[in-house]
Amino acid sequence: MDTPASAAALPTDTRGRALHDLRISVTDRCNFRCVYCMPKSVFGAEWRFLDRKDLLSFEEIERVARAFVRCGVRKLRLTGGEPLVRRQLETLVERLARIDGVEDLSLTTNAALLTPARAEALKSAGLHRINVSLDSLRDEVFKRINDVQFPVAKVLAGIDAAAAAGLGPVKVNMVVKRGLNGDEVADVAEHFRGTGHIVRFIEFMDVGNTNGWRLDDVMGAREIAEAIGARFPIAPVQPNYRGEVAKRWRYVDGAGEVGIISSVTRPFCGGCTRARLSAEGKVYTCLFASAGTDFRAILREGISDEALTQRVAALWGRRDDRYSEIRTFETDKLASLGPKVEMSYIGG
Ligand code: SF4
């Protein structure tokens, strides 16, 4: 039953997009309060996070992941909130690493808990690689962004720990917001140039409903590329695969590459092959969705693997998401769908 179906039998959505990536949020909790994702003013002491009983168990997550792999998924990414706050995460990594057909098993973290021992344990459990979020190299700016006074040096140490454990090259994600850290783009590029690690500069997005997003605060992909190119000439590179999120640029002098994720100025919905599973078992077919499909209930009612796979295929087959393409054109229609899901709830 585990062997993935032939390509012909795999589901595609209403725009002909296949399923390739499943992002699995294992918790809605985080030890940071990044202003563009989980502002303290909203996610404060009063905020009610998911109770443990509401979370999918590792066994349930594995069953859903297997159903998605049977429908074509090849990449699994663990996210949160902050995935490393979920206890015994290595047990889940072991389970997912055993799934036939998974070509890439990764995790996105803020590295606050990424000690050398933890990195080694994740690697031994079967994790392939790690993405680390780092939005500034200046302590005063970074602390203002993460809003828990967490220092840059500890994140850099986490990146070193990942590399030392064989989880590199690390993809370093930087959300670029004009007026906050936009002036640091070339500095961050310079810091990681020649290290083998790949910085991915992410346009500031209107995810969720709480980050006060304005188009004026978006530093677009062209501006980001120009800021880097002004210091180190870069040239575009072909994507690694269809649907790859980041547009790749290489340093002309051979010192490596960077990526730019341009959901606002250059939407890439046409090649979007990603689904997201929330920690309580809802599947979202778009990062900007307003509603998800509950799978926890059917899991706990004892659905068979076959029927579960059919549910995934049917859900994907109905999909027509292209939020980023219509973000500025169909605002009324999008507003009528209701509040968007929070990124901290389904992961980036
Ligand atoms: S906006 Fe939605 S459909 Fe478009 S690329 Fe992002 S997740 Fe995919």
What backbone torsions phi and psi does residue 312 show, to the nearest 5 degrees?
-65, -45
For the residues of 40-63, what is the DSSP string, one character each? TTTSSTT--PPPGGGSPPHHHHHH
Other CB atoms within 10 A of residue 99 CB: 19
Query: 3-class DSSP state for residue 313?
Result: helix
Unique residue bearing structure tokens 């049977």: 70
For 289-303, what is each residue's pLDDT tens digit? 999 999 999 999 999
Q: What is the mean pLDDT of residues 115-125?
A: 98
pLDDT value for 6: 66
Ligand 1 mean position to 193 CA, how many Å? 29
For the residues of 317-344, what is the DSSP string, one character each? HT----HHHHTTT-HHHHHHT-SPPPHH
Flag whether pLDDT at 99 surpasses 50. yes
Token pair in block for residue 331 = 């605002």
* Domain covering 7-346 assigned CATH 3.40.50.620 in the classification: no
Flag whether pLDDT at 4 surpasses 70. no
* Among the listed residues 192, 188, 117, 197, the one whose alpha carbon sits nearest the alpha carbon of residue 163: 197
- Going by alpha carbons, the residue nearest to atom 7 of ligand 1 is 286
Token pair in block for residue 86 = 């979920």
The single-letter code of the amino acid at 321 is: D
Ligand 1 mean position to 324 CA, how many Å? 6
pLDDT value for 1: 44
> Which one has a higher pLDDT value, 332 or 268?
268
Residue 127 beta carbon below 6 angstroms from any ligand 1 atom: no
CA distances from 310 to 5, 10, 168 (A): 12, 11, 36
CA distances from 55 to 28, 49, 164, 300, 345 (A): 9, 11, 32, 12, 12
Give counts: helices (H), strands (E), the chain: 12, 12
Residue 323 beta carbon below 6 angstroms from any ligand 1 atom: yes
Q: What is the mean pLDDT of residues 17-41?
A: 96
- The DSSP bridge pattern shows strands 293-294 and 234-237 to be unpaired
Please tell me what DSSP assigns to residue 18. B
Query: In the Cβ-directed half-sphere of 256, how many Cα atoms lie within 13 Å?
Result: 18
Query: In whole angstroms, what is the distance from residue 22 CA to residue 276 CA?
Result: 6
Other CB atoms within 10 A of residue 165 CB: 20
The pLDDT > 90 percentage for the chain reads 91
For 138-185, what is each residue's pLDDT tens digit? 999 999 999 999 999 999 999 999 999 999 899 999 999 999 999 999
Which helix (H) or strand (E) segment is 19 a member of? none
Other CB atoms within 10 A of residue 108 CB: 20
pLDDT value for 251: 98
Residue 30 beta carbon below 6 angstroms from any ligand 1 atom: no
- Going by alpha carbons, the residue nearest to atom 4 of ligand 1 is 269
